[in-house]
Structure 1
Amino acid sequence: MTVDEDVRGYLEANAADLLVDRLAEWVRIPSVAGVPERKHHLMRSANWLAGELRSIGFPVTEIWEGPDSPAVFAEWSGAADAPTILIYSHHDVRAVKEENWKQTSAFEPVFRDGRLYGRGSSDAKGQVMAHLLALRAHLAAAGRTEPAVNLKFIVEGEEEAGSPGLKELIEANRQRLQADAVIFSDTLLWQAGHPALCTSVRGMTGVHLEIYGPLTDIHSGAVSGTAPNPALELGRLLGQLHDEKGRITFPGFYDDVEEMSQRRREELAALPFDAQDWLERSHTRSILGEEGYTPLERLWERPALEVVAMAAGDPVGAKRAAVPSMAAADLSIRTVAGQKAEAVADQVRRWVRDTVSDGYAYELSIDTETAQEPYRTPDGRVLDALAAAMAKGFQTRDVGRMGNAGGGPAELLSSVLNIPVIFFGTGLVEDNWHDSDESARVDILKAGAATLAFLWDELGRQSAATP
């Protein structure tokens, strides 16, 4: 048998135990970000991962304390003259609305119809487990005692809260995290049957806006028709965020947006796209957005703005028939190449200042400290090797190119460490990230593990062949 066949054989023989069962055990730890009563579970989760890394053979595994939760660092650097790869991901998960879960309780994972259900199964514990299984297969298939490349892991515990402590953690440990490239594993694939290599992510800037009307909530029967209603004013503002062509209306917002290259347009056009398939997989009702661009271009190459939360008056419980004193909304702004969070924040401030009507007060907060900048992967040897490994791992001749509609601390990692970031994830849009019944397709995790095992072998061969 060839090494490639041995890798596949190892994965088939061991996936049930070392992937499904182990991932299920990890998912049972409710390592929810930003919830104080769950904070101790983040340490349990970090210790669980550190134990898994030690069991594979990592000679160095450490828990690094962040401001709010721990990160796991591991290093295995025994391959002289081979490249060093830093693997980034996260072990914290999003909060859940337990009443919306139908397949299982969020932290009681079940394997059903080829999927493992549970919070974190895909985002992103499943992606980390694909790395661990890949390394086991890489070692076993060739009878190795150490990897063909030097590997480092940084798996943080604050990503779902915006990675507030990651910059400080990276800067404090810059020398220990030095590598030739980052493999960033917190992203999506295009389709199960048509994998694509992610080469860009959008940035993200969060905005919280509060509009104030009466000094207190006040009976509408006493003041209706004369009092400023902040819910109406907020609704008016939100209705002006986009123009009739679907463009965001902040003055100057598009001035710094880089136009897509012809190469990028062709890459995205080459991906198979069926509107009905997309609607079904994404659980969306229709396809809207900026005129003049295809759906995939809107997703990955154009900026976007979403209202992700609104509150005013009495949304639950008994109604008081009162004009509310305050209405609030949270906005998520997705930025693209050329845009900077600070510049976008200034555009938002000016727009709100000029658009709020007389008779109202407001408070605007924009968290530029945890804002994420967009990032695009440069061409290079590791990217080419990953494309070849994906074709082999997913057993296809056609590996496309795609982007990621969400964000992540890719630009932060690249700028602080001065190295390129290459994306490889095993998620699918139908995995329901951040929603109820999150799940991961086990066959996709296995294909991802095969890809990574082939990648380490290929990079090791390349370094051996280089004089």
Structure 2
Amino acid sequence: MQDADPAVHEYLHDRVSTLLDDLAAWVRIPSVSADPAHERDVTRSARWLQAHLRETGFPEVQEWDTEGLQAVFGCWPAEDPGAPTLLVYSHHDVRAVKDQEWEEVAPCAPALRQGRMYGRGASDAKGQVLAHIWALRAHLEATGRGAPAVTLKYLVEGEEEIGSPHLADLVREHADRLAADVVVVSDTMLWSLEEPAVCTGVRGSLNAHLEVRGPRRDVHSGVVGGAAPNPLTELCRLAGLLHDDQGRITLPGFYDGVAEPTAEERRGMATVPFDTDEWLDRTRSRSVQGETGFSVLERVWTRPAAEVVTLLGGDPDDPARGVVPAVASADFTLRLVPDQRADTVMEQLRAWVAKQIRDGFEYELSMSPTNQDPYVTPPGLPALASLEDAVSRTLQRPAYRIRNGGGAPAARLSEVLDVPALFFGTGLPEDHWHDSDEKVEVQALLQGAETLAYLLEDLPRRLRA
């Protein structure tokens, strides 16, 4: 294991206040992709990033339009024309917010407190993008280079939080410009600040919306209660049938495509320091639930999941009217693992709903067009070894291999560009992604930038070997 480079470490720590000023300026732009009222803000966010890349020294920076919201592309060729090419993927759009639920700061009024930067997008994923930019700056400073050791390309889209509906078409359109030897997806989490770890895979995702119709209109429960079809009751019944008493998902054929972790992967996960009480506190979970026979880490990294994420009907925001509602709806998110395919699970879900829903109800089941397949980095990939070395060099300890339970468009990028994908992010489970009071640990940004600087330095040697 190489020693940490004092020049890289000192460059980043001496300029941390500037890095945080940059992050705060970007977080102040409410680039919420799901809200048309913020369309201009997403544009402003893209323009901010373009200016920042040019200020860093990127000789080529472009704004790429889609049928939706803007992506940003940057390219900085290596001095050596034979150097490998690294493509970095991330996003600059953010999740919608409920201002009234934020207690530390207003969502887009970032503040630094006790080593943490609060604000929407601070961790997911504006902080991750800036970690890459500052890694490049540290790499150039420490090596004295006028250009990076690899040809470096960035693709930072503006629609990830709405499922990346135009990403595949964008990548196909610009496939020549995006050609690379490896892609680093930076929309993932670390395990902890103290334990070095490399993410080697993410679960896929499938999102479905089910609308169930009962009476032809809302009807006073005193008139029809006990005799009319209640869509909320039916939805709750379906939700209860989605899992058996062992926590297994009941869609016929669902587990046929599930690849079991190898014995080596199981042993690796077993070595990751894990304490149930600490995990419950970090994630703010109340208890451990799920599939019998698997550890918590196996359940969230290597096993599929099915969750009801919304359930609506009746009068959720108004005084109850005492009626049997005409319509109820639910949103489901299914997390998929190798070797499941989103298209296959989609048909399994359709067949299951058709069989389970009772006579007397009408329903409509719609699927998101932006479902994602799972992805695992090839275990013998030289670039993975380079990333592991970089992580270990930063913390001066051997790195664990972990996975992330959320989704990322790695499979889509890998398939379209025919290039393997790595994962590296600076988020933590306690950063409250998609929730109120999102934050990022300053230490995570600094450690992440240091790691990425070492990756830029080592990747040419590793790939040539």
Shorter-chain-normalised TM-score: which range? over 0.9
Q: Which amino acid aligns with 2:255?
A: Y
Equivalence map 1:369-380=2 (5 Å): 369-378=369-378, 379-380=380-381
Q: Which residue of 1 aligns with 2:343?
A: 342
Cα-to-partner distance string for 1:156-183 (whole Å, 9 max, x where unaligned): 0000000000000000000100000001
Q: Which amino acid aligns with 1:235?
A: C
Cα-to-partner distance string for 1:258-287 (whole Å, 9 max, x where unaligned): 111101101111100100000000000001
SS for the counterpart of 1:350 is helix
Q: Which residue of 2 aligns with 1:61?
A: 61
2:69·2:159 contact (CA, 8 Å) conserved in 1? yes
Q: Which residue of 1 aligns with 2:411?
A: 411
Q: Which residue of 2 aligns with 1:291?
A: 292
Q: Which residue of 2 aligns with 1:312?
A: 313
2:382·2:462 contact (CA, 8 Å) conserved in 1? no
2:131·2:449 contact (CA, 8 Å) conserved in 1? yes
Q: Which residue of 2 aligns with 1:272?
A: 273
Once the two structures are TM-superposed, the CA of residue 381 in structure 1 deviates from its matched residue by 1.2
SS for the counterpart of 1:255 is helix
2:4·2:396 contact (CA, 8 Å) conserved in 1? no
Structure 2 CA distance for aligned equivalents of residues 264 and 209 of structure 1: 36
Structure 2 CA distance for aligned equivalents of residues 462 and 276 of structure 1: 40
- 1:351 matches 2:352: yes
Structure 2 CA distance for aligned equivalents of residues 454 and 90 of structure 1: 23
Once the two structures are TM-superposed, the CA of residue 151 in structure 1 deviates from its matched residue by 0.2
Q: Which amino acid aligns with 1:227?
A: A
1:201·1:407 contact (CA, 8 Å) conserved in 2? yes
Structure 2 CA distance for aligned equivalents of residues 106 and 170 of structure 1: 31
Once the two structures are TM-superposed, the CA of residue 66 in structure 1 deviates from its matched residue by 1.7
Q: Which residue of 2 aligns with 1:210?
A: 211
1:3·1:142 contact (CA, 8 Å) conserved in 2? no
TM-align CA RMSD: 1.1
Cα-to-partner distance string for 1:300-355 (whole Å, 9 max, x where unaligned): 10000011111010011121111100111000000000111111011111110110
Q: Which residue of 2 aligns with 1:151?
A: 152
Once the two structures are TM-superposed, the CA of residue 457 in structure 1 deviates from its matched residue by 1.0
2:4·2:393 contact (CA, 8 Å) conserved in 1? no
Q: Which amino acid aligns with 2:221?
A: S
Q: Which amino acid aligns with 2:337?
A: V
Q: Which amino acid aligns with 1:190?
A: W
Q: Which amino acid aligns with 2:68?
A: D
Structure 2 CA distance for aligned equivalents of residues 291 and 322 of structure 1: 39
- 1:449 matches 2:418: no
1:82·1:460 contact (CA, 8 Å) conserved in 2? yes
Once the two structures are TM-superposed, the CA of residue 398 in structure 1 deviates from its matched residue by 2.4
Q: Which amino acid aligns with 1:206?
A: N
Q: Which amino acid aligns with 2:419?
A: I
Once the two structures are TM-superposed, the CA of residue 3 in structure 1 deviates from its matched residue by 8.7
Q: Which residue of 2 aligns with 1:301?
A: 302
Q: Which amino acid aligns with 2:69?
A: S
Q: Which residue of 1 aligns with 2:263?
A: 262
Q: Which residue of 2 aligns with 1:92?
A: 93
Aligned residues: 461
Structure 2 CA distance for aligned equivalents of residues 224 and 462 of structure 1: 70
Structure 1 CA distance for aligned equivalents of residues 297 and 402 of structure 2: 8
Equivalence map 1:63-462=2 (5 Å): 63-78=63-78, 79-367=80-368, 369-378=369-378, 379-393=380-394, 395-462=395-462
Structure 1 CA distance for aligned equivalents of residues 280 and 462 of structure 2: 42
Q: Which amino acid aligns with 1:71?
A: A
SS for the counterpart of 1:254 is helix
- 1:39 matches 2:39: yes
1:32·1:39 contact (CA, 8 Å) conserved in 2? yes
1:3·1:141 contact (CA, 8 Å) conserved in 2? no
Q: Which runs of 5+ in 2 are unaligned?
A: none
Once the two structures are TM-superposed, the CA of residue 195 in structure 1 deviates from its matched residue by 2.4
Structure 2 CA distance for aligned equivalents of residues 380 and 349 of structure 1: 37
Structure 1 CA distance for aligned equivalents of residues 66 and 439 of structure 2: 28
Once the two structures are TM-superposed, the CA of residue 460 in structure 1 deviates from its matched residue by 3.8
SS for the counterpart of 2:177 is coil
Structure 1 CA distance for aligned equivalents of residues 250 and 460 of structure 2: 50
Once the two structures are TM-superposed, the CA of residue 226 in structure 1 deviates from its matched residue by 1.2
Query: Percent identity at matched positions?
Result: 50
Structure 2 CA distance for aligned equivalents of residues 187 and 332 of structure 1: 18
Structure 1 CA distance for aligned equivalents of residues 326 and 117 of structure 2: 45
Q: Which residue of 2 aligns with 1:15?
A: 16
2:193·2:443 contact (CA, 8 Å) conserved in 1? no
Cα-to-partner distance string for 1:233-272 (whole Å, 9 max, x where unaligned): 1111111000000000011110111111101101111100
Once the two structures are TM-superposed, the CA of residue 462 in structure 1 deviates from its matched residue by 4.7
SS for the counterpart of 2:128 is helix
Once the two structures are TM-superposed, the CA of residue 396 in structure 1 deviates from its matched residue by 2.9
Cα-to-partner distance string for 1:95-142 (whole Å, 9 max, x where unaligned): 001011000000000000000000000000000010011111111112
